[in-house]
């Protein structure tokens, strides 16, 4: 009697995250989600209002996790480069702790309905502004060269978001090692000092 199984809303979210990440939001139906949970689609509606609501819940929860992870770093008394380093570490931690959610957050949010899409884009902009603020401070303090601030921010964000594409929990590097290597390369460049 699979359909009488009590499912927690978390299970529904996890299943939707996985399917949206693998197949894409638009190619996933409520029926597909119900199927992997061994539920009738009708029973699934006890847990959710609509597929759009699921996507909204997934991407806002992901955004919440990113903000929650980096806010203490930004609010800290650390020097700015160390803040940026720890922000990158915190971000990589969030990405690697839930790769499906990171994939949906990175690529599927554009399928949100208009108003939600704008609202979500606003939060992404807010997050980008936090990173850009740190890059700006590093340049102002003379620790970073006079690089293009916006472009540097995009490079940092793209390299930390891309990780969901290749990271494997069974791989040789821990999330902390990935963050350290990445930060070293971004800060110091590939060139050997003096070369």
Which residues of the chain form contacts with a copy of itself (CB under 8 A)?
23-27, 107, 135, 138, 142-148, 151-152, 154-155, 158-159, 161-162, 165-166, 178, 181-182, 184-193, 195
- Report, in Å, the least distance between residue 96 CB and a copy of itself: 14
How far is CA 75 from its chain centroid? 20
* Half-sphere CA count of 117, side-chain side, radius 13 A: 9
Dihedral sign for Cα atoms in the order 28, 165, 70, 176:
positive
- Report, in Å, the least distance between residue 180 CB and a copy of itself: 11
Nearer to a copy of itself, 43 or 161 (CB): 161
Nearer to a copy of itself, 60 or 107 (CB): 107
Nearer to a copy of itself, 3 or 125 (CB): 125
- Report, in Å, the least distance between residue 155 CB and a copy of itself: 6
**Nearest-angstrom CA–CA distance, 145 and 134:** 13
Nearer to a copy of itself, 90 or 178 (CB): 178
**Nearest-angstrom CA–CA distance, 165 and 83:** 25
Question: Residue 148: left (phi > 0), alpha (psi -120 to 50), or beta?
Answer: beta
């Amino acid at each position: 009697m699979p359909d009488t199984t009590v499912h927690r809303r978390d299970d529904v979210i996890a299943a939707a995250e996985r399917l949206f990440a693998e197949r894409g939001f638009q190619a996933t139906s409520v029926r597909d989600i119900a199927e992997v949970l061994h539920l009738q689609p009708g029973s699934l509606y006890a847990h959710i209002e609509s597929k759009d609501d699921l996507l909204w819940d997934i991407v806002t929860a992901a955004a919440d996790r990113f903000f929650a992870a980096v806010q203490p770093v930004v609010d800290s008394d650390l020097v700015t480069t160390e803040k940026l380093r720890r922000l990158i570490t915190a971000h990589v931690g969030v990405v690697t702790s839930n790769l499906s959610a990171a994939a949906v957050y990175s690529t599927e949010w554009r399928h949100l309905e208009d108003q939600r899409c704008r609202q979500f884009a606003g939060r992404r902009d807010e997050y980008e502004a936090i990173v850009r603020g740190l890059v700006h401070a590093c340049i102002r303090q003379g620790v970073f060269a006079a690089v293009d601030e916006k472009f540097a921010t995009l490079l940092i964000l793209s390299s930390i978001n891309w990780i969901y594409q290749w990271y494997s929990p069974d791989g040789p590097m821990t999330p902390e090692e990935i963050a350290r290597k990445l930060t070293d390369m971004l800060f110091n460049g590939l060139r050997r000092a003096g070369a």
